[in-house]
Amino acid sequence: EESVVGGEEYLFKIVVIGDSAVGKSNLLSRFARDEFDLHSKATIGVEFQTQVVDIDGKEIKAQVWDTAGQECFRAVTSAYYRGAVGALVVYDISRRTTFESVKRWLDELNTHCDTTMARMLVGNKSDLENIRDVSIEEGKRLAEEEGLFFIETSALDSTNVKTAFQIVIRAIYDNFK
């Protein structure tokens, strides 16, 4: 590819974590294929999807990993985290328990990954404003306390999904160059 200048190649592994049914798989399918599934079942099989993005004219491959349903068993393995340089920690703005779990997911992340990795707190399902259970301010505050980027997204109506991944990829890129 002529866009690869000087033989530089960027492949960034990004993990998506968070409680079951917060919308991790749909965020990924929205990002990688612009698809949404209202009746998505716990993910089986698909480990990751690769999406090419352009940052400063550089072709970057974002290899985004999905937990494949392991989150039900608190059994996301170290192989899942290995080599990851970015993470999206996702909760569902309409289910407070998923927000309360974020600290535990961050503990997991800190156990397995370098703390310099690019990390983004993602409040998904922003389309469910009428049954919101976690305020934007609470999300922002937690992100500030923990040193994370913060964004609210909707995999359903596409709001901020690309932006969330782009911010993380840009931060990783800035760490590397």
Q: Which of 141, 119, 126 is nearest to 92 (CA)?
A: 126
**Nearer CB in complex with ligand GDP: 31/173:** 31
Site map for ligand GDP, 105-144, x if CB under 6 A? -------------------xx-xx----------------
Minimum distance from residue 48 beta carbon to ligand GDP (Å): 13
In the complex, what is the shortest distance from the CB of residue 9 to Mg ion, in angstroms, rounded to a whole number? 29
CB of 116 vs ligand GDP, minimal distance in Å: 26
Instruction: Compute the CA torsion angle 70, 74, 23, 89 (nearest 10 deg).
Output: -120
Using the rule CB under 6 A, is 38 a contact of ligand GDP? Answer: yes
Taking CB under 5 A as the criterion, the residue among 36, 43, 70, 96 binding Mg ion is: 43
- 51 sits near ligand GDP (criterion: CB under 6 A): no
- Partnered with residue 151 across adjacent β-strands are 122
Q: Residue 56 corresponds to which tokens in the numbers above?
A: 């400063």
Q: Tell me the CA distances in angstroms from 72 to 6, 20, 122, one per residue in order.
A: 44, 6, 19
Residue closest to ligand GDP when measured from CB atoms = 23
Q: Figure out which of the listed residues 12, 14, 22, 25 binds Mg ion, where binding follows CB under 5 A.
A: 25
Q: Strand 149-152 vs strand 118-124: parallel, antiparallel, or unpaired? A: parallel
Distance set, CA 34 to CA 25, 29, 31, 37 (Å) = 12, 6, 6, 10
Task: Kindly list the residues in this chain that would bind ligand GDP in the complex (CB under 6 A).
Answer: 20-26, 37-38, 40, 43, 124-125, 127-128, 154-156
